[in-house]
Amino acid sequence: MTPPEPAPDDLPRLNIAMSVEPSGARMALSGDLEYATVGDFEGAMARMASDHPASDLTVDLQHLDFLDSSGVGALISASSAAGLRGVTLRCIRGSQNIQRPLEVAGVDRILEFSDPPDS
């Protein structure tokens, strides 16, 4: 017997708000960055790179609720791709439940993190 498919309200959601500021492009993420939503993140990264090729990019993780290994891989890939274009990708730290796995895996030594502006 197979389990029932989740109702649409049960599906993971990733909200992406993109903006361009004097300091560069900014992408604020909220919801879940995971296997089911990583394609949305990758698509947004591609649009940002196309629309603002010379901008430094800040990815704000403050409002993420969940991050799995697919999301971690997508962040690392995005940073690598940005670096190849001469763009610096910086991340604003997320909550402890987002940051702790990144620290344990050593990702905080690969990606550049900064504290939220209000902290």
Domains in the chain, number: 1
Q: Which residue has the higher pLDDT, 101 or 7?
A: 101
48 in any annotated domain: yes
119 falls within a domain: no
Strand partners for 91: 59, 113
Give residue-wise pLDDT tens across range 50-68: 888 777 899 999 999 999 9
CATH number at residue 65: 3.30.750.24
80-96 burial string, b = 16+ CB within 10 Å, else e? eebeeeebebbbbbbee
Q: Which residue has the tokens 């604020």?
A: 28
Q: Is residue 93 part of a domain?
A: yes
Q: Which domain holds residue 99?
A: 13-114
8 belongs to a structural domain: no
Residue 21: the pLDDT is 83
Residue 4 located in a structural domain:
no
Cα 75 to the center of its chain, rounded Å: 6
Please check whether residue 3 lies inside any domain of the structure: no
Strand partners, 25: 20, 57
> Is 66 among the domain residues?
yes
- pLDDT digit string (tens) for 75-113? 999 999 999 999 999 999 999 999 998 998 899 999 999
